[in-house]
Amino acid sequence: MKEILSGNEAIARGAYEAGVKVACAYPGTPSTEILENTIRYQEIDSSWATNEKVALEVGIGASFVGARSLVTMKHVGVNVAADPLFTLSYTGVNGGLLLICADDPELHSSQNEQDSRNYAKFAKIPMLEPADSQECLEFTKLAYEISERHDTPVMLRTTTRISHSKSVVTLGERVAAVAEPKLARNAAKFVMLPGNARGRHYVVEDRITTLSKEGCSMAINRMELRDKKIGVITAGISYQHVREALPEASVLKLGMVFPLPFDLIREFASKVDKLYVVEELDAFIEDQVKAIGIPVTGKEIISLCGELTPGRVRKAFGLPENAQGTVEKLPGRPPNMCPGCPHRGVFYTLKQLNAYVSGDIGCYTLGFMPPLSAMDTCVCMGASIGMATGASKVLSPEERKKVVAVIGDSTFLHTGINGLMDMVYNKGAATVIILDNRITAMTGRQENPGSGHTLMSEPTNAIDFPMLCQAIGVKNIRTINPLDLDECQRVISEEMERPETSVIITDKPCVLIKKEGVFTPGKPLAVAEDSCIGCRACLKIGCPAIEWVPTSGKKGQAKIDPLLCNGCDVCRQLCKFSAIQEAK
């Protein structure tokens, strides 16, 4: 049977066909949809973890007792999971373990553009890189064979275009021969004390040498000989761009990008006049080819930054960038918080109080955008609280009062909780605002330990944030309605005056949550034309439901789109002339 699947959907299907029993992840674009599709298969226990490190540890535990496990995350998530990942390379596996890392060239939804292939080389773990959805499925299944045959975790790298592009995929059946999990003790292999780890290091080095040799005969690494004047080594989505941009060129398509099949590369190089490497981001393949003494051109013509397109590849080779003619670009649309977003009032208040906002990763990062312009830093998941502690340590008492850390509920549970413990323990003096909207909103409204439901939609314990903060040792904890601007102004300004740690928890769900009883929209609002004087106060919150329309003889008026407005009431509180009322 054939279906049209995205790369992420195909990976989920491949995991099912490979006999995977456990799948665990922390949501992150562009990897999120993998776990959202594994839940279609009852044979796979799928779950959202609190962070990527925990997700990998869940996968390791399942592997050690003999089950095949799948762990997925975006590229920056591998940073969080790096601690167990490097030691897992030493221990090896029992049941096969596959780690999907989804890179984001061009930073479509990320804070950096790191190249995860470097992790494979650093941790000495084999890495596969598919070029379409069919390969996503096939490489996923192959990864488990490699994992168990060579006693190693395997990484599979995707990029945004592979994750989200769709193509025809031939489906197979689930394997029936995977052994049932059972307890098996092997302390010499799985207890990484120095005495055991020393011996396992030799295993790791031998494994990489063996895989490099085997790679020369793997079907996923193949030569496509055409015009021998130009030979291109490439992998992943770059292969598709090369085939479109340079259809006559000879190509060495690599399906395994670490370790590289060096003998196959030497053979290919001997068959072409001029050798190139076309790859996104780092010169990962290029540097290794040069290291074995083969002249090759790569980053001299291909950028180290951003993603490739067929046009960019053509331009790099001195050809017209677009052989089909220029396509008119669409106008840009800046990102914005949704109409009625419960975060909007908080950031408006912080702007009015001239707070120095130590920000974090989530929907609320959009508080940085004009007209709110109320975020001063954003580095990584959970960093806001630790950075606020650091700033409070060195600022004058008057300046310190301005420091406010802002973090979402899911991000707080991901890695922010450690920062709050440190702030209390080391007597940091800053205000922390936990934006509890009951969901992991930015990546598509996934459940988290504060939402009360699992990925499998099963009811579960929901974290009580005030009690959690109290257990950490926070003495000053307050809960507010973020849509009440007077309450926001009063409580936040009071807590900013405290000379010690304080926590404010906002208590409003994401407006996009569709579960009954969680979010109830209010009545849409409208602007009374005869009352609006065109002061533009309502525009200061940056709500997409409010637009500005020119009027004859006036400087213009606000207008509220009733299809977008959900009656949050924030704009009405800003209007001093009572021009905003419930729509009739």
CA distance 169 to 100: 19
Q: For the chain, how far is it from start to end, CA to CA, in angstroms? A: 54
- The runs of H, that is alpha helices, within 426-558 are 465-472, 485-496
Query: Is 510 flagged in the annotation as binding?
Result: no
What angle, rounded to 10 degrees, do the helices at 383-394 and 417-425 form?
A: 20
To the question of whether residue 538 is assigned a binding role by annotation, the answer is yes
Residues 220/139, Cβ–Cβ less than 8 Å: yes
136 among annotated binding-site residues: no
127-128 and 166-170 beta bridge pairing: unpaired
Q: Are the beta carbons of 411 and 434 closer than 8 angstroms?
A: no
- Cα separation of 484 and 434, whole Å? 16
| Closest of 291, 282, 121 to residue 208, by C-alpha | 121
Nearest to 214 by CA among 259, 175, 182: 259
Which residues are paired to 548 by β-bridges?
558
543 is in an annotated binding site: yes
**Dist CA 86 CA 182 (whole Å):** 25
- Show the tokens assigned to 486: 């007077």
Could you tell me if 48 and 451 are in contact, meaning their C-beta atoms sit under 8 angstroms apart?
Answer: no
- The helix/strand/coil state of 525 is strand
Taking alpha carbons only, the member of 374, 350, 386 closest to residue 491 is 350
Contact 347, 355 (CB under 8 A): no
Task: State the amino acid at position 174 in one-letter form.
Answer: R
575 marked as binding residue: yes
Given a contact cutoff of 8 angstroms between Cβ atoms, the answer to whether 404 and 377 are in contact is no
Annotated binding residue 24: no
Q: Is 568 annotated as a binding residue?
A: yes
Greatest C-alpha distance within the chain: 85
CB 65 within 8 A of CB 184: yes
Q: Which two tokens stand for residue 395?
A: 């600022």
Q: Is the dihedral angle over the CA atoms 354, 355, 359, 365 positive or is it negative? A: negative
Give the residue from 531, 537, 509 showing the smallest Cα distance to 581: 531
Q: How many whole angstroms separate alpha carbon 44 and alpha carbon 68?
A: 10
Phi–psi pair at 159, nearest 5 degrees: -125, 170
Using alpha carbons only, how large is the chain's radius of gyration in Å? 27
Pairwise CA distance, residues 132 & 111, whole Å: 25
Within 373-507, strands assigned E span 403-408, 431-436, 476-480, 502-507
Could you tell me if 393 and 401 are in contact, meaning their C-beta atoms sit under 8 angstroms apart?
A: no
532 known ligand binder: yes
Return binding residues for [4Fe-4S] cluster: 532, 535, 538, 543, 565, 568, 571, 575
Show binding-site residues.
Answer: 532, 535, 538, 543, 565, 568, 571, 575
